[in-house]
């Protein structure tokens, strides 16, 4: 047998029903608002951290760009000397003094923070116009890709200078020494004594006996150096684009 108990309160009036419904809806709206407020401040915190990280990466890349401008101009001077040396070899004239250098020193641009912003989705929380930043990173990527290709091409062309009697003096220690020099050079804003700079660059010289080269080999090497010279013009354009971008867009 089922017991039926009378309700403990009087039936709810229509006004009481809508009041109760309003309280429920208001509670839901408050909860949603609080959740959105928490997300809003969290996103603002992520955006602020992202800006600080981008500014730090920007400062590093600005220093890298300055060094890449110097190194590319220095490489062009090295190529000018190399071409003059090959002309002297072809004409059987005394060789101009100075080392024969084909290596193009370059400093890496950082892009870890820029990539993380895209991968994490944090970039969607930045409200400023990021087109200038994207343009700068695109030029950095283009510089690195082109300098790597150009270096590979000129290194292969210069391989005809190598013989079985070349000194095997490339060591990890010498690599460390040159990289420490580059750090000092960048920290000094290119104001190291010229003698120290020349001495460091001289360690990049190619060992070579040019008298063993045939006319065809000289022509091929000369052509490769000329192409590298033109490549450097394009590389400097990327660097100047980056420098102009940094000047015109101080933040981020």
Distance of CA 43 to the CA centre of its chain: 27
pLDDT at 76: 98
Per-residue b/e over 214-243, b at no fewer than 16 CB within 10 Å? eeeebeebbebbeebbebbeebbebbebbb
Cβ distance 144 to 109 under 8 Å?
A: yes
- At residue 45, the pLDDT reads 77
Q: d(Cα 60, Cα 173) in Å, to the nearest integer?
A: 25
State how far the Cα of 93 lies from the Cα of 87, in Å rounded to an integer. Answer: 8
User: Distance between CA 66 and CA 107 in Å, rounded?
Assistant: 9
Has this prediction a pTM greater than 0.75?
yes
pLDDT value, residue 8: 58
Q: What is the pLDDT at residue 3?
A: 54
Alpha helix positions (H), the chain = 14-90, 112-120, 131-158, 172-187, 194-202, 215-248
Q: Which pLDDT value is given to residue 46? A: 81
What is the radius of gyration, based on Cα positions, of the chain?
Answer: 32
- Structure confidence at residue 123 (pLDDT): 87
Report yes or no: 107 and 67 within 8 Å, Cβ to Cβ.
yes
Mean pLDDT, 10 residues at a time, over the chain (252 residues)?
Answer: 54 71 76 68 78 93 96 97 96 93 95 92 87 96 97 94 83 93 89 93 90 92 97 98 94 76
Whole-number pLDDT of residue 251: 78
Q: Which residue has the tokens 């590319």?
A: 72
What phi and psi, each to the nearest 5 degrees, are found at residue 13? -75, 165
């Amino acid at each position: 047998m089922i017991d039926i108990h009378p309700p403990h309160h009087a039936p709810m009036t229509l006004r009481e029903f809508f009041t109760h419904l309003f309280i429920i809806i208001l509670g839901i709206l408050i909860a949603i608002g609080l959740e959105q407020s928490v997300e809003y401040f969290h996103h603002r915190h992520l955006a602020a951290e992202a800006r600080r990280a981008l500014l730090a990466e920007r400062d590093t890349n600005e220093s890298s760009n300055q060094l890449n401008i110097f190194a590319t101009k220095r490489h062009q001077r090295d190529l000018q000397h190399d071409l003059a040396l090959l002309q002297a070899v072809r004409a059987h004239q005394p060789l101009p003094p100075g080392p024969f250098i084909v290596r193009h020193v370059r400093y890496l641009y950082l892009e870890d923070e820029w990539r993380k912003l895209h991968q994490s989705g944090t970039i969607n929380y930045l409200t400023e116009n990021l087109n200038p930043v994207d343009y700068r990173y695109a030029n950095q990527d283009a510089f690195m890709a082109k300098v790597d290709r150009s270096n590979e091409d000129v290194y292969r062309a210069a391989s005809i200078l190598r013989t079985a009697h070349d000194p095997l003096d490339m060591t990890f220690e010498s690599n460390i020494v040159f990289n420490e020099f580059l750090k000092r050079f960048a920290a000094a804003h290119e104001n190291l004594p010229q003698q120290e700079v020349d001495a460091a660059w001289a360690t990049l010289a190619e060992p070579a006996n040019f008298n063993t080269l045939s006319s065809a080999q000289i022509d091929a090497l000369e052509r490769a150096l000329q192409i590298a010279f033109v490549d450097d013009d394009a590389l400097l354009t990327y660097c100047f684009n980056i420098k102009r971008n940094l000047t015109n867009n101080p933040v981020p």
